[in-house]
Structure 1
């Protein structure tokens, strides 16, 4: 049984004014996918292809125009109050822009406590114990809890957002370009942390990214999106053999670890400079 799945999802946006609705803009078409318990699936594609819209639909932050999202094989649109609460608890989303994803006036403690207040029955003392545990899980010092977002580094704030997502013991975390704004060393550190948490807690991830380099060694399966559709699927071990033009462009965008120098020419990603 799939943990979460999408069946023929479509999304059309329209704007409204005094003269009526605009022509619809189709962002997603006929999207079908699934994520199993404990699995990491990479959702790849260039900026603007619809990845983030799909992430919001799967997390229940927006409603599809066509098709449906299923949680443990039940349509999310038909869940009752108690099942909706379980869905909110089990499916968490980590955004790309961590400063915009938190309240700048909240302390780190308040940021992590928010889902604990709304989605658990923990009392005040239990919530504080949980916050200390979560900070330790994401390898942050306990004294960071009383700082404001502007008083911590970008890498630390992204870990705070991961801690907030982990707070209610979710079964799936959707990572929407969640490490894209970090430098290469922090990216490696964040992915190592997420892989460890998966081993320890059995969490599934939907890893939304445009960077094929980050997928290797982290995900087991990858889906490639282009112009609002899933155009190719592959196991990560076989992704070098993907043939769709959108997949090939993603491959071409990966730079080598170090440029090669031949004579007086610098060879970078197959081009002489």
Structure 2
């Protein structure tokens, strides 16, 4: 079975960009934080963050996802002013990037400023629970909106990981959040959903969600998934964050086979290579039209249509 996404969504519109989802695309993670679980402190200087953002685009990401507040388990909240102080110079330094930029925030004040500074999407890890007004902002401005499932807050989410049916409950919560965004005036093809791997889920819960991701894809919205370097992989293999690259790629490939459209990863080059190899193999299946595949750099530049 190839990696053409099985969900009905075929494009995702975000600001002035229209991203084809006929095959999975990559969202490269850029954390401009001192305390993120995997790369905290590596890119908390604007110069380094801007350079890494450009590198992520060059390595083949179709989207750059920037976060300025850690959402690792147990993380304390960051005031909006501090979050924006981290984000502003990086966003301004990347305004000419050829791929859309999403900002990982649940604060309306930060989201408004980010959109004014050129962000094309808002990635809300609370799926509008923290501030439903984010949907109105997305509707007014036409930016993309990613709604992610999480119980509680990053500080409390791992205290409640028991579900009767994890896939059904997550799907139901995302369907409700998506309805709220539609009611606020968001266009359907600008709303994406994310099951929130690692956010208020146990090891078994994360694995089951990935195994049943087609149920999330059946909502009809573009599906983001972010297992990259997460602790459930460490628990499964007994390895630290820097040793989870191969496991992250494997989890993303499994997710793509089950309907994920956007793979949110730290290790863009490795993920791009894996998708390219799989795509080259898939193109040789009987009945598939053969043709040259564009380079990763060309695909990144072609994210805008």
TM-score (normalizing by structure 1): 0.39
User: Based on CA coordinates, which of the two structures has the bigger radius of gyration?
Assistant: 1
Structure with the higher strand share, 1 or 2: 1
